[in-house]
Structures are given as C-alpha cells and as structure tokens.
Structure 1
Amino acid sequence: MKQIDILFENDQILVINKPCGIAVQGGEGIAHPLDKELPAQLGYPVYLVHRLDRDTAGLMIVAKSPLYAAQWTKMIGGKLVRKEYTAICAGTMPAKKGTIKTAVIQHGTEKPAVTHYEVLEEKNVSIEEKTVTLSKIHLRLETGRMHQIRIHLAKQNCPIAGDDKHGNFKINKLLRKACGIKQLLLAATSLTFPVDGRDKTISIPCPEHFQFQADC
C-alpha cells in the first residue's frame, strides 16, 4: 500500500489524508486496514479517534495514545471539531443551500442527524439519451451518524455518484460507462480543530478520482 500522507502532527494527534478504498479498521476479509498499515509506516501505534467509510477519502484524526484518543473523541462529540465534505451527486437538491434533519436508523434505533449543505456547481450531461445533472455539493456535519451524508443525500433524490449502497444503481452504471466514475465521489476535504487555544483548519483538494471524464 502506498504511503499515507500526514498533514499535521503534534504530541497528541496526527491528521492524515486517507485514500479511497482503504478500510479504517481490520476484520474478516479486510486486507491492509488503516489501523495496521499506518503504525507500520510510522513505527509506533496510533489510536482511532473517528472513522471514515472505506470508500470515503480524505481527512482523519488519529491519536498517539488511548488517553488522547478518548479526549479527542469527546471533543468531536462536543462539536469542537468541524468536519466538512465535498460530494458529486447524481441529481439536484431542492434548494441551493439548506439543512437536512432526517433521522437515521442505526442498529435498529432512530437517531437524530443533521447535515448542512451548499450546492457549489451543477452540470447536465447526456448519457444514452438520458440527461443526468451532476451536482457538486459542500457538506458540513452537525452529527456523525454512520453513512449520514450518503443516506441524507439519497433521501433528497440526489445520491452521491458511485454509491451503490444508498444511491441509484442504474444511474451509477451509466456514469461508470460514460464518465468513468468507478468510485464513491465523497471526500472529507476540510477539518477545523482546536490547537493551543486557537482553531486550526486543514483543507485539501478533491482526490484524483473526482477528475472523471469531463465531456461525458
């Protein structure tokens, strides 16, 4: 596995850029998970503070000790860390800017979930005599439910391109064939967190797989 980029480091945490397709935690049938590969790269153990889906790329915090992991997990729960994402979706949102407050079912229990969004760009593409609108959307999480962004956007009839679990499989098939979109187009592109009494923001561009065939 290629080297994982480290974008920030202090005595407590690292901020890394996780590539798409890498599982955060190991388990049955999972090869090269982040929690094994990153310690091997660094030469010392690290501890997960939060998670990203295997197919979601982008910024993550990992801690240098179990104590710091617990502290930073609590800070995320207390909304002292702001996580922002970029997605390319197949569809149009009901408004250019707004908040989605649809509850999400997790482990059989309904959990409140809040996602703020802003549409950055829209583009109509013609695929096999069908017009599909691709929307580039900026998202900010207020809660952190599993698959929250993917579920919220799908319920707005604007699912993330390449999302075969919550999205539109038929449209994804067309986009794969016509545009070369083969991966989930969702990335954690900005992270704001407290350091030495001040907020620090790290932002990254969208990953390479967002640069799909432009003339599809």
Structure 2
Amino acid sequence: MTLIVRFTNPYSAKTVKELLEEDLLIPRKIRHFLRTKKHITINGSPINWQSPVQKGDWIEMVFDDQDYPPKHLPFGDKRLVDCLYEDEHLIVVNKPEGLKTHANQPYEIALLNHVSAYVGQTCYVVHRLDMETSGAILFAKNPFILPLLNRLLEDKQIQRRYWALASGHFPQKTMIYRDKIGRDRHDRRKRIVDPKKGQTAHTRLTLLKEYPAASLVDCELKTGRTHQIRVHLAHHGHAIIGDPLYHLKKGQRLMLHAHELVFKHPLTLEQIRIQAPSKSFENGLPK
C-alpha cells in the first residue's frame, strides 16, 4: 500500500535531514529510502538532503511497502464505532464500557478491530483504556503518524481528563495524589500503592458534585500507570463505584469515563480538544 503524506510545514526553518529526523521521527532506514527513491519534494521540487526547509513550505512524502511493511488485522464491526474526531492521520472514538482496547489473543475482536474496519485499514493503538472504562481514546491511522503521537504521550503533551463517581466525600475541592503504583504480587490483575518499588504516578482531582454517599470528581492524569485513578482513589478510601477489582460493592458498571482529550496535532500544531459524551454519567448519576 502506498501512503502519501502532504502537509504545510509548521516547524521552524532547518534542513531536510533535521526535519525528518528531529521533528517527524522518521527512522534512518526510511529516510534513506526517501532520499534514494526521491520520494520527498518541497514545494513540488526535488531536494538536496541539506536543502533548507522553511516554515510554511509544502511537503510531500511517498511511502511504500518497503518503508512500512503491511500489517493485517481482522476487521470487526464498523457500526460499533462512535467517531468523535477523524482526519487523514488519526481518529478519536468514544469507547463503550466492557470492550477491550486491543485483543490479547489472535481470536479476540476488540475496539482496535472495529476501528480498523471503520477506517478501512489497520490502525494502531496510541494509549489504552481499561476494558471497564468508557470514553475518548486515540488511534493512529498509519505507521507514519504513530511515533509522533507516541512522543506526545511520552512527553505528557496529551491531556487526559476523566470523570469518576467515587465513594464517600472528599475533604477539599482539589487534591493531588502522588502515591507510587506497583503490581500486587497476590493478584496479577491488580495494582497497589507501593512506596518502595512502585512507579511514579500523579493524579490531580477536582470535586465536581457531591451526593449522599458518593462524589463526582474530575481526574487529570499526569502519568499513565495501569489502573492509576482506580488505585489512587481506592487507596485513599474513595473506590470508584462499580469497580470490579477495588470496590467491595458490585452490581453496576465501573463509573469511570474518559471525557476529554487535548493535544496539539503533530502535523499542524493545531490544538485539538475532544469531549466524549456518556449516557451513564448524564442519566445514571444519583439525583
């Protein structure tokens, strides 16, 4: 499959080599192919590797199967995809609760399979949501954009905000939890607060509304540890309602929803803000 990438350069002036290597994160092997095949032009003209590229220049690159060998994923059902935002390179969808982000076994069909069917080609996971969690989730539509989105995630430039219905009441409107999180050696499904061996975790909470026995909080992730919000809230005595691992009372869905994603588009530097509606939070909260 041929992938053609066209965009107006949003980055500061530099050489072609620097642009491809530093800003676009194109691997050395693929940069070599672009050069030898003359698969890159600036403002419609062939380039020298040391040619200057100015902000606002029109860039076109052509990638083939030698650059990115095709990957095939079984397609799911495109009708199950609730698309919130889509462009040539990425897609954000509203994940339902009870569905895995990606399959763990070859025979499984997960959200990634449904999204790939919707797009019509194999897509790639940028970040994950627990199976029980609903809300906005980002996928790359091609292997070129994937490392750029991964860098945004690693550099904490993708802001993720969640709604959680937590048990009990909080002592103040804003709280920051920094407890380190590690594996629970007694239950491989779970994570625990582990001050000695755990990984750094940072969650900022803002109280939105109080109910007789629960509180609605906005949670902003500064790090992305497995079960981070669930573990932090449970550790401080405010387990999320319906949490099958960390809340004693069962019976309803996990009341955790990724309601907002904010990031700069890596090819335009445009600020993208996507919010995901949730019927559970609109209609299912206590009055």
* Fold in common (TM above 0.5): yes
What corresponds to 2:145 in structure 1? Answer: 68
Aligned to 2:224: 144
Asked which structure has the greater CA Rg, the reply is 2
Distance 1:96 1:41 in 2: 41
Q: 2:239 aligns with which of 150, 155, 159?
A: 159
What code does the residue aligned with 1:163 have? D
What are the within-5 Å matches in structure 2 for residues 1-216 of structure 1? 2-28=79-105, 31-106=108-183, 109-124=197-212, 133-167=213-247, 169=248, 172-173=249-250, 176=251, 182-195=252-265, 196-205=268-277, 207-210=278-281, 211-212=283-284, 214=286
CA 152–74 in structure 1, closer or farther in 2 if over 3 Å, else same = same
* Distance in 1, Cα, partners of 2:167 & 2:178: 20
CA shift in 2, pair 1:85/1:111, >3 Å: same
- 8 A Cα contact 1:94 1:156, kept in partner: no
Identify the structure with the greater strand proportion.
1
Q: Distance in 2 between matches of 1:145 and 1:208?
A: 26
- CA distance in 1 between partners of 2:273 and 2:215 (Å): 25
So what's the TM-score if we normalise by structure 2? 0.64
CA deviation string 1:176-202 (max 9, x = no partner): 4xxxxx100000001101032232211
7 and 27 in structure 1: CA distance in 2 versus 1, 3 angstrom threshold: same
Equivalences, count: 196
SS in 2 for 1:110: coil
Uncovered stretches (5+) of structure 2, i.e. residues with no partner: 1-76, 186-196
The alpha-carbon deviation at position 213 of structure 1 amounts to 6.8
Looking at structure 1, the residues matched to 161 and 184 of structure 2 have their Cα atoms a distance apart, in angstroms, of 25
Name the SS for the 1:149 alignment partner: helix
Residue 144 of structure 2 aligns to a residue whose secondary structure is helix
Give me the identity figure in percent.
29
Distance 1:213 1:98, change over 3 A: closer
Amino acid at match of 1:112: T
CA RMSD of aligned residues (A): 2.0
Deviations 1:69-101 (A, max 9, x none): 222111111011100000111112232212100
Deviation for aligned residue 1:59: 0.4
Bigger mean CA deviation after superposition, 142-151 or 62-71: 62-71
Q: Structure 1: 5+ residue runs without aligned partners?
A: 125-132, 177-181
Normalised to the residue count of structure 1, the TM-score between the two structures is 0.83
| Mapped partners of 1:66, 1:7: distance in 2 | 21
| 2:80 partner SS | coil
Q: Whole-Å Cα distance in 1 between the matches of residues 112 and 215 of structure 2? A: 33
